[in-house]
Amino acid sequence: MEKTKSEGFFLVKKGAAAQAFELKTLELDAPADDEVLIEVEAFGLNFADVMARKGFYREAPAMPCIVGYEVVGRVSRNGKNVSAELLGKRVVAFCRFGGYAKHVLTKATAIHEIDNTPAEDALALCTQGVTAYYMASLLTPVRKGDRVLIHAAAGGVGSLLIQLCKLTGAEVIAKVGSKTKGELAKSLGADHIINYKETEYTQQLKQILGDQTLDVSFNAVGGRTFRKDFHFMGAGSRMVLFGGAELTNGKWGIFSQLNFLRNMGLVLPVGLMMSSRNILGVNMLKLADQKPEVLSECLKEVVSTYKNGKLKPISGQTFNFSALAEAHEELGSGRSKGKLSVFW
């Protein structure tokens, strides 16, 4: 089969988004036996993309490369082992990078039909929704009465975590960086709001908990917040680490990375056993590589929960493809709420 000519945003250098990306032509091979080719309508932005742009994401391909984990579009070609019924279907899809392009190749098992679901909703349900569902429902199911701290609670993952945790009857403490983000978290069901820009968040957390402890911390920040959260964890507690946002604030290259690790401190496994505390790491790219069926299951459940009206993805700003740099800087600034989407 002939190749497909397309266009995509290549990450060509580290640093500011305006200089980091270039729109260039590319050619895609015909779909493999178990793949589909998708003509892309819109793609989503994730914080891992910002990490890749700043040179902090070790999993990113060597530059020049096309990043991006999820797209919405229509299946335009399919491999010989893929049902022809999928042709022309509108789908949301995971991709192992390559999402910032007008066409994407991906496994047929990594797609889900969405009919007329708004693209920005579907994109929020993909990488971020699946991450939230995997952590709160499969990896360490949140139970009724659990006291849960959610960092970056107004973001794409955090806003969905609030809702999933409230569905189980948990007590949710949402950590945000502004009054408007706090209002958003409250509207989604959060029981307590911590604005870390007002006072040190551990002081507010101590007031909320009193003599109780945390059951779960969903921590996308890392660094010094790891030790701070760990102090509030009790027997049976779980800390889920799924990001390193604090690292993006570093300005000194390798020294900032070393300081990031130093701030997290040293935890001995025997200490975890003796105190019955747990630390769980989440890297969805690794999970996709080794357990793709888990992501497929999570995507199916997240879309079903959304269609049943029990989950409301927060659609943040939408951007035209010509404003990709602006969208990237907005996501990296910490000002954004919900999912940022880019349309062709």
Per-residue pLDDT tens over the stretch 2-23? 899 999 999 999 999 999 999 9
Selection from 332, 254, 341, 335 nearest residue 18 by Cα: 332
b/e code 186-221 from CB counts within 10 Å (16+ = b): bebebbbbbbbeeeebeebbeebbeeeebbbbbbbb
Percent of the chain with pLDDT over 70: 92
Q: Does the global pTM surpass 0.75?
A: yes
* Domains of the chain, first to last: 4-116+314-343 (3.90.180.10), 127-285 (3.40.50.720)
pLDDT of residue 246: 45
Q: Which residues of the chain have pLDDT under 50?
A: 245-246, 250, 252, 254-262
SS3 content of the chain, % helix, strand, coil (to 5): 40, 30, 35
pLDDT of residue 266: 64
CB contact at 8 A, 74 and 91: yes
pLDDT of residue 59: 84
CB contact at 8 A, 76 and 111: no
CB contact at 8 A, 30 and 1: yes
pLDDT of residue 197: 92
Peptide bond into 64 cis (omega under 30): yes
Distance CA 281, CA 288 (A): 14
